[in-house]
Amino acid sequence: MIPEAEVLAAFPAEVQIPAQLVADAVAASSANSPRILVVLDDDPTGTQSVADLAVLTRWDVEDFTWAFDHIRRNQTKPAVYVLTNTRSLDPAEAAARNEEIVRNALAAAAGDVTLGFVSRSDSTLRGHYPLEPDVIAATVAAETGGATDGVAIVPAFPDAGRVTIGGVHYMRGSGDDAGSLTPVAETEFAKDATFGFSNSRMAKYVEEKSQGRFPAEDVIVLDLNIIRAGASAQDPAISAKAIADAIEPATDSTPIVADIVTENDFRALALGLEEAERRGKKLLYRVGPPFVRGRIGQEIREALTGEEAYAGNTPSTAGGLIVVGSHVGLTTRQLNVLTSEHSSARIIEIDVERLVAETKTAAEAEQYIATVVSDVVDALREGDVIVHTSRLLIKTDDPAASLKIARTVSAAVVSVVNRTLKTFPPRFVIAKGGITSSDVAAHGLEIRHAIVRGPMLPGIVSLWEPVDGPAKGIPYIVFAGNVGDDQSLAHVTRKLSSTF
């Protein structure tokens, strides 16, 4: 571990930038032709940093038409999220889904709206990179004839302890380790069965993941000296010019990595990207959750209260449903705290070994799931229910096989949620884990269109309000597996529960 203060000592102080300055710059560039960011979110946890934006779990042309109309009617910030769930897909499936979404978005825009594309992925560097931005760039070129000059890679998520300094991506320590930094390649996330990696220096990470197609020395690095170029005069225009100047050589999807430590750094970067695009640069973005908030000039939304979570809807008298699928260490600790503190909640485990056993027939699996659903419904009549997958993580050395196991487990979780919803709707639903929360949203709750109302904890954990389908009126909480502290899951549950 490395002291953060020691690493930051080599760089200037941040430039203070109000969100409104970015919002005004974005509005000015859209004065003649409205510009909307389409955020392809590889799991739904990317919405945790924004508020009052539309989110889609389907991406037909009419879905984009609804979203673009929603932005115009309500004069919301110019961005829409599309839940792709591609982190749970194999590369070929992920590529096909990205292509379909971009084609349909462009068709819905029909020349009336200018689109920018964001490939939102994990702040701990897991996901289909460089495949997804490659496919987006190729599809945009095929549909519009426009080439992509650069791909800005900005994985930082300071709210959750992920920062990039000097071109190196770090995780902040917590508790006794507060104030320290660990290179992300030295964390459990780098050992991911499907998306593992060995480099924390972003230029080397790009080279590793692109298998040498983008050598590290060809990557443009916007370090804090550039991001904070206006520090001495506290002049954002100086930083914007320095960023745009550094991006000037980008051509043919040149990777551009950016240092980020604070919200002001995001805003400085946004102004620099705006200036680069004003000069004619065509950019795509591969980013962590808070980038979009900074890029559109949205203020940081304070955490929602329990009352705000139910605003406009009458809470059910049923118990709430907390579904936990993630297996990272933090999730397990959060689950342990919740189960120990919420003594009135019923705890029901989905046995992963039973689900994936090679000897199990479809009929046996169905019978097992039906039993779980019956138990959940009975328990909801009395209070909150915590449904979690068994904590033993079953994986293989084969990434495809590991992904298949994850899908089998997720399908069972979805089935439990969907049957429960249609039998005895819960007061609220919390889904813990990226793939889990995606599948629960799109299939378990059958949400097609929703509005992200804001975070349940500062900067993390978003609340969706479903605007259609059987879950309309039920607060849905998207809770990433790798964010918060040990108390976070209990804290969010306490806000929503009538029995905790």
Task: Check whether residue 237 and residue 91 sit in a common domain.
Answer: yes
Residue 174 lies in a domain: yes
Task: Encode pLDDT of 455-466 as tens digits.
Answer: 999 989 999 999
Task: Check whether residue 275 and residue 169 sit in a common domain.
Answer: yes
Residue 303 lies in a domain: no
Residue 311 lies in a domain: no
Task: Encode pLDDT of 297-346 as tens digits.
Answer: 999 999 999 999 999 899 999 999 999 987 778 888 999 999 999 999 99
Task: Check whether residue 204 and residue 340 sit in a common domain.
Answer: no
Distance CA 495, CA 12 (A): 40
245: enclosing H helix or E strand = helix 236-247
CATH number where 69 lies: 3.40.50.10840
Residue range(s) defining the domain that contains residue 399: 318-496
Q: How many domains does the chain have?
A: 2
Look at the chain and count its residues: 500
Task: Check whether residue 39 and residue 174 sit in a common domain.
Answer: yes
481 vs 70, which has greater pLDDT?
70
Residue 35 lies in a domain: yes
Task: Check whether residue 291 and residue 410 sit in a common domain.
Answer: no
Distance CA 194, CA 207 (A): 18
CATH number where 407 lies: 3.40.980.20
Name which of 113-117, 173-177, 385-389 the model is least confident about: 173-177
Which pLDDT band, with edges at 50, 70 and 90, does 481 fall under?
confident
Predicted local confidence at residue 328, as pLDDT: 77
Task: Check whether residue 402 and residue 478 sit in a common domain.
Answer: yes
Contact between 309 and 464 under an 8 Å Cβ cutoff? The reply is no
Predicted local confidence at residue 394, as pLDDT: 59
Contact between 94 and 132 under an 8 Å Cβ cutoff? The reply is yes
Residue 227 lies in a domain: yes
Predicted local confidence at residue 499, as pLDDT: 92
Which pLDDT band, with edges at 50, 70 and 90, does 359 fall under?
low
Task: Check whether residue 104 and residue 135 sit in a common domain.
Answer: yes
Contact between 428 and 449 under an 8 Å Cβ cutoff? The reply is no
Task: Check whether residue 286 and residue 323 sit in a common domain.
Answer: no
Task: Encode pLDDT of 237-292 as tens digits.
Answer: 999 999 999 999 999 999 999 999 999 999 999 999 999 999 999 999 999 999 99
Q: At what angle do helices 236-247 and 263-278 cross, to 10 degrees?
A: 60
Residue 262 lies in a domain: yes
Residue 266 lies in a domain: yes
Task: Check whether residue 275 and residue 328 sit in a common domain.
Answer: no
Task: Check whether residue 392 and residue 278 sit in a common domain.
Answer: no
Task: Check whether residue 288 and residue 336 sit in a common domain.
Answer: no
Residue 196 exposure: Cα atoms within 13 Å on the Cβ side: 12
Task: Check whether residue 288 and residue 340 sit in a common domain.
Answer: no
* pTM of the predicted structure, to 2 decimals: 0.91
Residue 306 lies in a domain: no
Last residue of a domain, one of 237, 262, 296: 296
DSSP SS3 for 215: coil
Query: What mean pLDDT do residues 26-36 have?
Result: 89
